[in-house]
Amino acid sequence: MAKTGNRAVGTSGKKPRHTPAQKRAAREAREKQARAQLKGKRQRPTGASRYAEEDRGARSTEGGGYPRRDDRGGYPKRDDRGGYPKRDDRGGYPRRDDRGGYPKRDDRGGYPKRDDRGGYPKRDDRGGYPKRDERGGYQARDDRGHARRRWADEDRSGWREERREREARVERGGRTEHVWRARRDEREGRQDRRGFHEGRGWEERRHRDDDRFGEPERRGPRRDDRFEDRRGGRRFEDRRDDSAEASPEDEREAAEAAYQEHLASGAQEDATATVTEDNGFAGLGLHEDLVAALARTGISQPFPIQAATIPDALAGRDLLGRGQTGSGKTMAFGLPMLHRLAGRPRAVPHRPRALILTPTRELAMQIVDALAPLMRAVDKRFLLVAGGMSYTPQLSALERGVDVLVATPGRLIDLIERSAADLSEVEVAVLDEADHMAEMGFVEAIKEILDKTPTDGQRLLFSATLDHGVDQVARAYLTDPVTHSTNDVAASVDTMEHHVFLVHPHHKKPITAAIANRTGRTIVFCRTKLGADRVALQLRESGVFAAALHGGLNQAQRTRVLDAFKKGTLPVLVATDVAARGIHVDSVSLVLQVDPPADHKDYLHRAGRTARAGDEGVVVTLALPHQKKQVARLLDAAGVQTDALTVAPEDVAIIETAGGSVPDGEPIPQSRLDEVLRPRRPQRQGGGGRGRYGDRGPSRGGYRGGRDGDRGGYRGSRDRDREGDRGGYSRRPRRDPDAARDSRPDWRPRG
């Protein structure tokens, strides 16, 4: 019951209601519409929900198992876009125009195959599934909370239904995604014309690929122009205006702004440092510019994994590196890669010479951070290619030619399909955290990408574990690889202490707070995104300053949270497993697992966030009584020997062994979180130099300057973001729905 109610709310595009009164009102409104519909009265929302009903029916009767990434895999059919058979429909297709008047039912009917054809899987997945699309968006987080709770209430039948729908959509194939998207928009009453706009954007891009590709893509005002042109003068602004949620464009721009902040907070190099006699990197035979650059950042001796792998990598061999993150893998592949590129001619436009693939955006950023000074030292251009960021800089950088591409799979495939990137000249391909990327759902993307690189290129694969997936990828793509392992698996790091605390469910919250209330950086791991939000909130309410990091935040938020944590302004990071792998933050002295990890590998990955590079670190795992066995098994598999201790909040002594103390209980005000996470005003105005995530080369003033000038709409929204009144973390409801309702009844726009 709650389920259908909720769905109807979602699909009809109304914001979800939260108070019982609001829910009631919503229900009544729907019923009223339904009655009106019966009377043949034509109302747009009525039509929308009617179609939603049909979709639902269609979905739920179709089936077929399909995992998620395959949805995306379904996407790559470039023909869908390319062939784009619906162009004419689009143009001549009246639906969108009718929006206002919503008359053409016949058109709909007369447009026969739509239902059957529909099913652009992934996109619709997101769209039809209201939470995902707007995730991080204004309304979404609450949606999520809302939905999750519902699922929990109903014993997760919601999940199953979700999945059935997704599968049904996959079944339908991906031929007419734009129609689906438009239909979904309509169904949901979404009037920001976003789906439509994007559809046109793709189509248009395809047609100018050859001649105009890479030309700065203007936004803002021109979008309206486009609409006017295309739609015969109709304007859609009014519709957009009634939606106060952050548009994807806003978010991408905010993400960009966040990069700039991140960049501005970068570490300084010590220009006076010189290469000394005993420099270990020089001894390995690395290019002198690289060695010098390393010395400037204070690095003169290779880590074991580096010493082991670099000679082989320099010799051009394929490499299978096994080692925990933090063991210096980035340099282990980065240095030989750059050594090889050094002195080579600059890459041809669109064709990078080296590719580094990573499973998460954060990791990609970190790799760029770590390698940027080196890449500059040998005058190589690099680019971060990852989702959640604006396309334009990535496109134009590729247009200009990029030597080293650091990428997450999804966006890279996207760019390849747009012909913006071509991997045919990749000499060195690196797979970082390959075990993660070899997971189901990811692996197809990886294969697809690797298949596009030359088979005779060098391939370096790094992974913490070498189980099935990795093994398979390694065998398929590595030629006669040298395998190097480091033994610094978390379990064998002797500077790491492991504790398991058995806690009563009621005590979890105070104990979490007491353990996390400490000096020094702490990462708290949770199983779910919602859990991370909740724990962060609870910690703040208990007086421990914490913020959540998970994939549900938009990219700008993710960057800011992580930056704040790295800078130390945020002492406690509450994260999902997005942070379990490959997040390099120095001196994290405690890892607290509020939810036990799923398996021993996750345990080791999480634990590996602490006790890095010889530091001391403590890992505390909270287990509820029923989890005791599971945790014991898991620790055993991880090779960690420790006994579970039953702990109650009054066992202060035990808690203190983990470094914590009972917090004063004075809630951390929202403003403090806002303060830390608010976008800071970048000092730079246009042309502000080279980004960490895309180097424009030493002789360039940087794209930003030019682009800001080019793009009328950009600065506007960026400025808004700078003001902190738009798109920023502070704007989003990050409390759980109940709390949000209590404290900010009006945060949601009406309508």
Partner DNA sequence: AAAAAAC
List interacting residues with DNA (CB under 7 A). 68-69, 72, 75-76, 122-123, 126, 156, 159, 198, 248, 252, 359-362, 386-389, 391, 408-414, 417, 439-442, 445, 527-531, 550-552, 576-578, 598-599, 602
CB of 534 vs DNA, minimal distance in Å: 11
With respect to DNA, which residue has the nearer C-beta, 411 or 692? 411
CB of 596 vs DNA, minimal distance in Å: 10
With respect to DNA, which residue has the nearer C-beta, 511 or 580? 580
From residue 266, give the alpha-carbon distance in Å to each of 298, 368, 370, 679, 697: 15, 12, 11, 15, 18
With respect to DNA, which residue has the nearer C-beta, 3 or 108? 3
CB of 44 vs DNA, minimal distance in Å: 25
Kindly state the DSSP code that residue 410 receives in the 8-state scheme: H
CB of 646 vs DNA, minimal distance in Å: 26
CB of 415 vs DNA, minimal distance in Å: 9
Q: What angle do CA 196, 199, 202 make, to 5 degrees?
A: 150
Residues 102, 44 contacting (CB under 8 angstroms): yes
How far is 185 from 196, CA to CA, in rounded Å? 8
Q: Which residues pair with 430 in a beta bridge?
A: 356, 460
What 441-445 contacts at long range (C-beta under 8 Å, 24+ apart), as own/partner pairs, is 441/67, 441/68, 441/69, 441/70, 442/69, 442/359, 442/409, 443/469, 443/472, 443/473, 444/69, 444/70, 444/73, 445/69, 445/72, 445/73, 445/409, 445/410, 445/413
CB of 202 vs DNA, minimal distance in Å: 8
With respect to DNA, which residue has the nearer C-beta, 360 or 453? 360
Q: Strand pairing of 354-357 and 404-407?
A: parallel
Amino acid (one-letter) located at 441: G
CB of 284 vs DNA, minimal distance in Å: 32
Residues 326, 304 contacting (CB under 8 angstroms): no
From residue 15, give the alpha-carbon distance in Å to each of 18, 26, 737: 9, 9, 13
DSSP calls for 439-508: STTTHHHHHHHHHTS-TTSEEEEEES---HHHHHHHHHH-SS-EEEE----GGG-TTEEEEEEE--GGGH
DSSP calls for 201-218: HHHHHHHHHHHHTTSPPP
**In this structure, what token pair is assigned to residue 91?**
């143009």
Amino acid (one-letter) located at 736: D
Map tokens 């962060």 to a residue.
536
How far is 603 from 596, CA to CA, in rounded Å? 8
Map tokens 């990462």 to a residue.
523
CB of 617 vs DNA, minimal distance in Å: 23
How far is 394 from 214, CA to CA, in rounded Å? 9
CB of 352 vs DNA, minimal distance in Å: 15
With respect to DNA, which residue has the nearer C-beta, 73 or 328? 73
Residues 517, 572 contacting (CB under 8 angstroms): no
CB of 372 vs DNA, minimal distance in Å: 19
From residue 3, give the alpha-carbon distance in Å to each of 259, 363, 436, 745: 39, 37, 34, 23
CB of 249 vs DNA, minimal distance in Å: 9
Nearest of 587, 582, 559, 584 to residue 571 by alpha carbon: 587
CB of 484 vs DNA, minimal distance in Å: 26
Map tokens 């390995």 to a residue.
284
Residues 449, 357 contacting (CB under 8 angstroms): yes
How far is 708 from 686, CA to CA, in rounded Å? 6
With respect to DNA, which residue has the nearer C-beta, 128 or 373? 128
With respect to DNA, which residue has the nearer C-beta, 539 or 580? 580
With respect to DNA, which residue has the nearer C-beta, 227 or 303? 227
CB of 67 vs DNA, minimal distance in Å: 8
CB of 601 vs DNA, minimal distance in Å: 9
CA 630 to chain centre: 30
With respect to DNA, which residue has the nearer C-beta, 327 or 394? 394
